[in-house]
Amino acid sequence: MKSLKFYHLTDLHYYANERIGSSGAAYKFKCDVDQKCMAESGAIVDAAFKDICEDKEIDIVLISGDLTFDGEQQSHDALVEKLQKLKDNGKRVFTTFATHDFYMHARKYTDEEGETELPKYTRAELRKLYNDFGYSEAIAEHKNSYSYCVQLSEDVRMLALNDDGDFDEFCGYYNDLLEWIKEQVEDAKKAGCEIFAMTHHPVVEPSPVYPLFSHKAMLGGYEFTTPYLADLGIRYIFVGHTHIHDIDYIESKKGNRIYQINTAALTAYPLAYRKVEYSDEGMDVKTVQIKEIDYDLGGKDVLEYAKEHFTYMIKSVFDSIENDYEKFIILSQGFSGEGEKLRKAQPIVQRIGKFANSLTFKKLCTLAGCGKYVAPEIANDSIIDFICQVILNMYSGREELSPDTSQYKAFVPFCKRLGKIVKLKDYQGNPVALDKLIADVLYDDNGIDDWDAVLK
């Protein structure tokens, strides 16, 4: 097989404010409470596309959905112009769209009028709009789902799988699409081609905690679909949606492995995308970060700026639990929190939040009867700061708090004690051991570096 190089970007969530014209405190609030850098999204997309254009070695760009912030027509129109520039620079661009491109609340935010609704495109209109960015090169198209198959090189094909499902309760593949995927894989094999896939939703849990708080955000029916894809012979799938930077795999009962390369949202910390080389050596995946953007960041480095934005947002979550519960519900949507469930649980969540905000490692672990595990250097560290760090680590693919660290040594025994009172269950009702779960969140020990890895 001839080596094939490409870029993978996802979840651009581009908000074309230069055309939309949101402004004032209402817009600032919206920007502040989102994990993504909404106001800066255009400049971030431009910076990524500029770097890609300058790379004369790679002419393929994959983008796996959530192209716009919430589906604003103006954002799509402006993005298509940016994609056209990539094309004019000799790049072949392959896109799929996802729920944030047609199903969300596209809004303009101003102090005079508050939130006003903006027009959106239908899925059929998006298919036409993005025709030159994937569909026009298709060697096969599954019309019901807007999925397609392309020949990337003489011996490599790619499935761009649209997993919109019913857009709401079920994002996944219906039977006719599963059947079509099977046909495409068989056709590729007959033609002597390798085939891999990209889709929007994750088919492998990017963190053990993810399906617990957001099972619906996994590809619907992934427990069946992922081994099915592996057994067909699809070994690699590039995904987005979670905004978590992660590489993981599962093995089917028949022993077939499928790797999932989940890339963070381009416009949220760590402002990353992937540079990939596919060859007989396997899939060589590397992370590239945005270096600088054309936007006034008050003299800050762009990565530091995005990190501060993310941290501020997470801290606001804890602060708002105690002081502004409606804001907390808005913020929790960034983590796929479900408003109604949270509203029902308000008294208990608020009590926990208030208590948590006052805690240090020493106070927390002493209360639980495991104070002896707390090393002096972390005794007075705030638990909330620690949790912020853990969340940031998870999203940026740096779950590096190993069993040797003081934080792990103190927090895991605490979770073991807590697990005797708080009985967690997964979505199927099976008990989940809290200490084991948290240990896996603190330290990702699957043996694969989430940033740079050669996957065989």
| Residues that bind Fe ion in the complex, under the rule CB under 5 A | 11, 66, 98, 241
The smaller minimum CB distance to Fe ion, of residues 11 and 450, is found at 11
**In the chain, what is the straight-line distance between the N-terminal and C-terminal CA atoms, in Å?**
14
| Shortest distance in whole angstroms from residue 134 CB to Fe ion | 18
CA neighbor of 236 nearest in space, from 225, 244, 247: 247
Whose Cβ is closer to Fe ion: residue 101's or residue 248's? 101
In this complex, which beta carbon is closest to Fe ion, that of residue 168 or of residue 400? 168
116-129-136 Cα angle (round to 5): 160
Which is closer to Fe ion, CB of 69 or CB of 180?
69
Q: Who contacts 280 (Cβ-Cβ below 8 Å, separation ≥6)?
A: 1
Give the shortest CB-188-to-Fe ion separation in angstroms.
27
Question: Token pair of 65, please?
Answer: 């959905």
Q: Cβ 203 to Fe ion, closest distance in Å?
A: 14
Between CA 251 and CA 15, with CA 336 as vertex, the angle to 5 degrees is 110
Distance CA 210, CA 202 (A): 10
For the CB of residue 159, give the shortest distance to Fe ion in the complex, in Å. 18
Q: How far is the CB of 68 from Fe ion (least distance, A)?
A: 10
Q: Looking at beta carbons only, is 74 or 262 nearer to Fe ion?
A: 262
Q: How far is the CB of 36 from Fe ion (least distance, A)?
A: 8
CB-wise, 91 or 201, nearer to Fe ion? Answer: 201
CA atoms of 310 and 326, how far apart (whole Å) = 19
Q: In angstroms, rounded to a whole number, what is the distance separating the alpha carbons of residues 276 and 453?
A: 10
Q: Which backbone phi and psi does 294 adopt, to 5 degrees?
A: -90, 80
- Distant-in-sequence, close-in-space partners of 18: CB < 8 Å, separation ≥ 6: 42, 78
- The beta-strand segments (E) located in 124-234 are 138-142, 147-153, 156-161, 194-199
* DSSP secondary structure string for all residues of 215-278: GGGSPBTHHHHHHHHHHHT--EEEE-SS---EEEEEE-TTS-EEEEEE---TTSTT-EEEEEEE
Tell me how far, at minimum, the Cβ of 13 lies from Fe ion, in Å.
Answer: 6
**Least separation in angstroms between CB 397 and Fe ion:** 16
Which of 27/102 has CB closer to Fe ion?
Answer: 102
Check: CB of residue 370 under 8 Å from CB of residue 412: no
d(CA 134, CA 148): 8
| Nearer to Fe ion (CB atom), residue 11 or residue 205 | 11
